[in-house]
Every structure is written in structure tokens, then in C-alpha cells.
């Protein structure tokens, strides 16, 4: 998995039920914070307006399986009848350059990242203000059919059950507040630099 130290970048994993507002928050955050956004790979079909290589790498099941076989994925999971995953290459390159990266992925994927890269992973869970609002947001987005809306809404509980595994959570009620909360989490994590602190502690220990 390449070298790993506190000088590496961090992986900010953003999860939460479909429709909670992860994509909207991250898009706005990128205008305020210098951070990279990982592009996932998926077997789902593009929505109108989605661009291959930007929103996702859209691939066939066979292409996805080939990538898994070649150990090319940091994590992957089956979500709503499709496979989604994070290609490893870009992540490793960016981390080694010391860049922080956002992964907008589901809880199953988030837990894999936490297990594989515990030093770099910071897990953030996005909640809607309430379930009626969540459903309304999935409907308003206008990208899913009625049965897919139901499936996504029903799956929310399974995601929320695992919130205890996450480091932070934020409620996306007012969009600007949610963006600000995420920005504050990133800033706070960037100030946690044990590699800088420990030499000072050791110097004191020697001197006393
Ligand atoms: P996710 O990425 O979590 O599936 P989206 O970012 O696609 O969710 O948001 C779902 C829908 O809710 C979109 O139509 C988006 O414009 C809307 N939305 C997101 N955040 C808010 C908010 N704070 N207030 C009102 N609508 C929101
Ligand atoms: P959508 O189809 O709405 O774009 O995404 C559906 C869900 O798939 C999202 O809620 C998101 O959390 C999850 N997802 C997107 N990319 C990835 C990924 O790379 N890995 C995993 N595990 N989940 C992903």
C-alpha cells in the first residue's frame, strides 16, 4: 500500500444515505478547500449530464472484475444492484505527494478504507435532518425511477446503523452550515500532526 507516515495526505471518507447531500456538499467544499476528489468506478449507467472520467469511470461488470483481479481497487462494494469502487493508483500517488483526498463512498467501502489505511482515514457521516426530507431530496433530484427511489430510501437505515464506526457526523439541514462543518473537520484534522509534536515532547523528556 506504499509508504505510510503522518506526512502523507489524509483520506476523508464521506458517507451517508443516498440523497443526504454528500455530492452537493463536496462540490461546494472544493471551492473553499484545497483538496482532491477521488473519481470512483461504477457499473451503473450514467445519468444525463454525467461525464465519464469526471463524475465516475463508467465500466462494464467485466471491466470492473478485471480491475479487482489486478488488485487495482482500494475498496469496492455492491450498492443498489451495481458495483462501485475506488481505483487505487490515483489515491496512492496523491497521498504520497501529501495531498488530502475526499472519497464519497458508501459505508461498506468506508469501513474497508478504515481497515486498510487506519492512519490516513478520517470517516465523516452525513445525515439528513429527518427521513421525510431525505425522501423528498431523492425525489427532487429527479434522477431515479419510483422503485429505485424506494430502494435507496429503504437502504438508508442499513447505512445509518453503522454510524458508530465513523469519526464525525454532520447534519445537512442548511447547506452552507454543512459545508462549513465539513471544512472545520478538515481543518482540525490538518492540525493534528503527531510527527511534529513528538520531537518536542522527547526533547523535554531528555532535558528534565
Ligand atoms: P447524495 O450525493 O448524498 O446522494 P445529493 O448531493 O445528490 O445527495 O443531494 C440530493 C438532492 O438534495 C439534490 O437534489 C440536492 O440539490 C439536494 N440538497 C442537497 N443538500 C441540500 C440542502 N442542504 N437543502 C436542500 N436541498 C439539498
Ligand atoms: P450514485 O448512484 O447516487 O452516484 O451513488 C450511490 C452510492 O454509491 C452513493 O451513496 C455512494 O456512497 C456510493 N458510492 C459512490 N462511489 C463509491 C465507491 O467508489 N465505493 C463505494 N463503496 N461506494 C461508492
User: 165 and 123 in contact (C-beta within 8 Å)?
Assistant: yes
Q: Relative to the CA of 27, which ligand 1 atom is closest? A: 6
Q: Is residue 87 one of the residues assigned to a domain? A: no
CATH of the domain at 124: 3.40.50.300
The CA distance from 13 to 111, in Å, is 9
Q: Total structural domains in the chain?
A: 1
Beta strands (DSSP E) in 115-165 are 121-127
Question: Are residues 67 and 87 in contact, defined by beta-carbon separation less than 8 angstroms?
Answer: yes
Whether 134 contacts 20, CB under 8 Å? yes
Per-residue pLDDT of the chain (208 residues; tens, 9 = 90+): 444 444 589 999 999 999 999 999 999 999 999 999 999 999 999 999 999 999 999 999 999 999 999 999 999 999 988 999 999 999 999 999 999 999 999 999 999 999 999 999 999 999 999 999 999 999 998 888 889 899 999 999 889 999 999 999 999 999 999 999 999 999 999 988 777 788 888 888 888 6
ipTM exceeds 0.85, yes or no: yes
Ligand 2 site-directed mutation target among 59, 84, 172, most atoms within 8 Å of CB = 84
Residue numbers of the domain that contains 105: 11-38+99-206
Kindly state whether residue 123 falls inside one of the protein's structural domains: yes
Q: What are phi and psi of 158, to 5 degrees?
A: -65, -35
Residue 149: inside a domain: yes
In a domain, 127, yes or no: yes
What's this model's pTM, rounded to 2 decimal places? 0.92
Q: Distance between CA 110 and CA 183 in Å, rounded?
A: 19
| Domain assignment of residue 184, yes or no | yes
Amino acid at each position: 500500500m506504499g509508504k505510510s507516515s503522518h506526512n502523507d495526505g489524509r483520506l476523508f471518507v464521506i458517507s451517508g444515505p443516498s440523497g443526504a447531500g454528500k455530492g452537493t456538499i463536496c462540490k461546494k467544499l472544493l471551492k473553499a478547500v484545497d483538496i482532491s476528489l477521488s473519481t470512483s468506478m461504477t457499473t451503473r449507467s450514467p445519468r444525463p449530464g454525467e461525464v465519464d472520467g469526471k463524475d465516475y469511470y463508467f465500466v462494464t461488470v467485466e471491466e470492473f472484475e478485471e480491475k479487482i483481479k489486478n488488485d487495482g481497487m482500494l475498496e469496492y462494494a455492491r450498492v443498489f444492484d451495481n458495483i462501485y469502487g475506488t481505483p487505487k493508483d490515483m489515491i496512492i500517488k496523491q497521498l504520497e505527494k501529501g495531498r488530502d483526498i475526499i472519497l464519497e463512498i458508501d459505508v461498506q467501502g468506508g469501513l474497508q478504507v478504515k481497515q486498510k489505511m487506519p492512519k490516513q482515514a478520517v470517516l465523516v457521516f452525513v445525515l439528513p435532518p429527518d427521513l421525510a426530507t431525505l425522501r423528498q431530496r431523492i425525489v427532487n433530484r429527479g434522477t431515479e425511477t419510483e422503485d429505485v427511489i424506494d430502494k435507496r430510501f429503504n437502504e438508508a437505515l442499513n447505512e445509518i446503523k453503522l454510524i458508530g464506526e465513523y469519526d464525525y457526523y454532520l447534519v445537512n439541514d442548511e447547506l452552507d452550515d454543512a459545508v462549513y462543518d465539513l471544512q472545520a473537520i478538515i481543518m482540525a484534522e490538518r492540525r493534528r500532526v503527531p510527527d511534529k509534536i513528538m520531537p518536542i515532547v522527547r526533547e523535554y523528556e531528555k532535558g528534565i
